[in-house]
Amino acid sequence: MNYSKEVIAHFTAPHNQGVIKNPDGMGMVGNPTCGDLMKIYIKVKKNIISDIKFETLGCASAIATSSMITDLAKNKTIEAASKITRDDVAEALSGLPLIKMHCSNLASEALTAAIEDYKNKIK
Amino acid sequence: MDTKKIYLDYAATTPVDAEVLKTMLPYFSEEFGNASSLHSFGRNVMDAVNDARKKSAHFLKCLEEEIVFTSGSTESNNLAIKGVLRAYEKNNTEIPHVIITMFEHNCVLKTCQRLEKEGKIELTFLPVYADGIIKIVDLEKALKKNTLLVSAMYVNNEIGTVQPIAQIGKILAKVNTKREKKILFHTDATQAVAYFDTNVKKLGVDLLSMSAHKIYGPKGVGILYVKKGTLITRIQDGGAQEFAMRSGTLNSTGIIGLGKAIELLENNKQKEIKKIQDLRDYLINKVLKEISGVRLNGSRKKRSPSIANFSFSNVEGESLLLYLDANGVACSTGSACSSGSLNPSHVLLAIGLKPEQAHGSLRVSLGKYTTKKELIDFVSKLKKVLEKLRKVSGELLKEYYAKKK
């Protein structure tokens, strides 16, 4: 199984890794049985994701997709960020091995969960 | 080998020993004859093949005609199980019963599972306990009237624990004295032959599988020991090579390499066992002492000198493996992600690990070229890599379980 250069780059030096204290939205997905847990934190200013961070317990592609989705979502409006799909993440990473596609799914689910959390908070 | 890199994956494969290579080289282009040919080109090669057979027989303390050269352990295991079944089916209509351990290598496990699915065998799995070892009493309980075959691996390839093969052999021999239809005993000794007793009589086995590439020989060649008189039929049709047990032109170059590898192994075995075992103990002690959130998988003592398997909390094995690889260290993991499936290692689950512990596993396997300095470097790199990955994973696991409550 070979990973693309982009996957390796994001995996070995992940972007936006860490924790946001007092986030406006937060989403955790995955389970230890499949081996991947992912959490995304967002800070929202004027409907724009001004800051985003992630924590991931998982394989190389889980870490790379988390890193990539934070890049894709940063500085986007809530609406635009909501539209990021698993395919967008996989494409931005120049593809993922088939068996790893669920990782990109996990990343988009984590982002969606964080956005939902934000929406619920401002209701 | 690249000396700057640290290779700690000897259980996956070993480099071909320089002396083995030297022995093999003339048999590619100079002595290229087909060992089965009657002319001098063939005879010269057959002489060398027979020399390898002699060394193999000496190593296993068996007869030369009990050595069947194969393409490696996967083939040997397939031949042992399917061949025994085939011979049985010729004279019997009752579905036979086969017993294997829960943590056999896939080439035994999947072979048996398929035969069971096809309705050709009744299959029982012997449980494996936290120490990575089966219990004899479970075997005794599992035996049935129609039991045809027991297959138990000698050393587990992932965690390195040793099964009581000679003890199983004794039990079966005793049981067999009272039975009309004898139970056959097979062991996959692939990971064991470099470090443990390979005297097939002492082990009491009818069939034993091994590979050359785990003992500094070439890939693509191995042995199935078949005790004289064992009812077994070949599974690959063609020529009458290997006492009509394994059709196909002999991989003479590989076999000659295997013979040399076995000779070198026999000459240095005791010395190397001690050296590698000391290194293994040094490694285990150092890792358990200096690293937090770690457990050693399987019995501390009843294990191969070569293999240590750890689980690290809050990291996933594939990530760990690739970070180590980026730092020039080669290891292996039982994490799902490394295997191309979504389930973690059946071996680690069989000894009772939680999925996350299995996902966080790392197999470190040592060999005759391993040095203490390499292990020191390895542990220092491991610490750095763990720190980095644990930062990425934060407290997610704890949080997950807190939410579950």
- Distances in Å between the alpha carbon of B56 and those of B112, B243, B259? 28, 16, 6
pLDDT value at A35 more than 90: no
Same-domain check for residues B240 and B366? no
Residue B387 lies in a domain: yes
pLDDT of residue B342: 67
The residue type found at B45 is: V
Q: How confident is the model at residue A33 (pLDDT cuts 50, 70, 90)?
A: confident
Do residue B354 and residue A14 have CB atoms under 8 angstroms apart?
no
- Report the phi/psi class of residue A106: left, alpha or beta, with left for phi > 0 and alpha for psi in -120 to 50: alpha
- Distances in Å between the alpha carbon of A79 and those of A25, A28, A48, B99, B306? 14, 20, 9, 59, 56
Residue B79 lies in a domain: yes
pLDDT of residue B305: 97
Residue B242 lies in a domain: yes
Q: Quick one: CA torsion of A28, A32, A34, A37, rounded to 10 degrees?
A: 30
Same-domain check for residues B234 and B277? no
Same-domain check for residues B215 and B275? no
What does the alpha-carbon distance between residue B170 and residue B222 come to, in Å, rounded to a whole number?
26
Order of strands, sheet of B184-188, starting from the edge strand that comes earlier in the sequence: B67-70, B222-226, B207-211, B184-188, B147-151, B97-101, B122-126
Shortest distance between the Cα of A77 and any Cα of chain B, in A, equals: 26
- Distances in Å between the alpha carbon of B259 and those of B60, B68, B141, B160, B239? 12, 13, 40, 25, 23
Partner B contacted by A23 (CB < 8 A): no
- Distances in Å between the alpha carbon of A29 and those of A64, A81, B241? 16, 17, 57
Among B52-56, B184-188, B356-360, name the one with the lowest average pLDDT: B356-360
Of all residues in chain A, the one with the smallest CA distance to B326 is: A12
Picking from B314, B319, B340, the nearest residue to A1 by CB comes out as: B340
Provide the annotated active-site residues of A: 34, 103
Partner B contacted by A106 (CB < 8 A): no
B41-50: average pLDDT: 98
Of all residues in chain B, the one with the smallest CA distance to A67 is: B392
- Distances in Å between the alpha carbon of A21 and those of A18, A70, A110, A122, B227? 10, 16, 17, 18, 69
Do residue A63 and residue B392 have CB atoms under 8 angstroms apart?
yes
Partner B contacted by A64 (CB < 8 A): no
Chain A residues with CB under 8 Å of B342 CB are 34, 99, 102
- Residue with the two structure tokens 């030369």: B64
Q: Which of B235, B264, B293 is the last residue of a domain?
A: B264
B175-204: average pLDDT: 97
A89-94: average pLDDT: 94
Same-domain check for residues B182 and B50? yes
Question: Do strands B6-7 and B329-330 pair parallel, antiparallel, or not at all (unpaired)?
Answer: parallel
Contact residues for B266 (Cβ-Cβ < 8 A; gap 6+): B55, B58, B59
Q: What is the CATH number of the domain that holds B319?
A: 3.90.1150.10
B83-130: pLDDT as tens digits: 999 999 999 999 999 999 999 999 999 999 999 999 999 999 999 999
* A31-63 burial code (b ≥16 CB/10 A, e <16): ebebbbbbbbbbbbeeeebebbbbbbbbbbbbb
- Distances in Å between the alpha carbon of B4 and those of B327, B329, B362? 10, 9, 21
A42-83: pLDDT as tens digits: 999 999 999 999 999 999 999 999 999 999 999 999 999 999
B242-270: average pLDDT: 97
The rounded percent of chain B whose pLDDT value lies above 70 is 98
pLDDT of residue B336: 63
Shortest distance between the Cα of B398 and any Cα of chain A, in A, equals: 11
Residue B26: give the domain boundaries: 18-264
Residue B1 lies in a domain: no
B332-350: average pLDDT: 77
Could you tell me the two tokens for B296?
């050693």
B348-387: pLDDT as tens digits: 999 999 998 999 999 999 999 999 999 999 999 999 999 9
Chain A residues with CB under 8 Å of B323 CB are 12
pLDDT value at B176 more than 90: yes
pLDDT value at B338 more than 60: no
Give yes or no: B337 in active site: yes
Same-domain check for residues B143 and B273? no
Same-domain check for residues B226 and B308? no
pLDDT of residue A34: 81
**Residue B47, class by beta-carbon neighbours within 10 Å (0-12 exposed, 13-18 middle, 19+ buried)?**
exposed
Of all residues in chain A, the one with the smallest CA distance to B324 is: A12
Per the CB < 8 A criterion, the answer to whether B323 and B306 are in contact is: no
What does the alpha-carbon distance between residue B320 and residue B382 come to, in Å, rounded to a whole number?
8
Of all residues in chain A, the one with the smallest CA distance to B323 is: A12
Separate counts of helices (H) and strands (E) for chain A:
5, 3
pLDDT of residue B339: 56
Residue B77 lies in a domain: yes
Question: Do strands B67-70 and B222-226 pair parallel, antiparallel, or not at all (unpaired)?
Answer: antiparallel
Distance between alpha carbon B307 and the CA centroid of its chain, in Å? 11
Of all residues in chain B, the one with the smallest CA distance to A33 is: B355
Do residue B355 and residue A33 have CB atoms under 8 angstroms apart?
yes
Shortest distance between the Cα of A27 and any Cα of chain B, in A, equals: 11
Chain A residues with CB under 8 Å of B316 CB are 35-36, 57-59, 62
Per the CB < 8 A criterion, the answer to whether B231 and B193 are in contact is: no
pLDDT of residue B50: 98
Domain boundaries, chain A: 5-122
The count of structural domains within chain B is: 2
pLDDT of residue B79: 98
Shortest distance between the Cα of A37 and any Cα of chain B, in A, equals: 7
Q: Quick one: CA torsion of A99, A101, A106, A107, rounded to 10 degrees?
A: 130
- Distances in Å between the alpha carbon of B269 and those of A6, A59, B196, B209, B265? 46, 38, 9, 19, 5
Chain A residues with CB under 8 Å of B314 CB are 57
pLDDT of residue B240: 94
Partner A contacted by B314 (CB < 8 A): yes
Residue B114 lies in a domain: yes
B194-246: pLDDT as tens digits: 999 999 999 999 999 999 999 999 999 999 999 999 999 999 999 999 999 99
- At the topology level, CATH places domain A5-122 in Sufe protein. Chain: A (3.90.1010)
B274-326: pLDDT as tens digits: 999 999 999 999 999 999 999 999 999 999 999 999 999 999 999 999 999 99
B265-281: average pLDDT: 95
Q: What is the CATH number of the domain that holds B64?
A: 3.40.640.10
Same-domain check for residues B355 and B245? no
Query: Where would I find the H helices in B102-217?
Result: 106-117, 136-142, 165-177, 200-203
Do residue B337 and residue A33 have CB atoms under 8 angstroms apart?
no
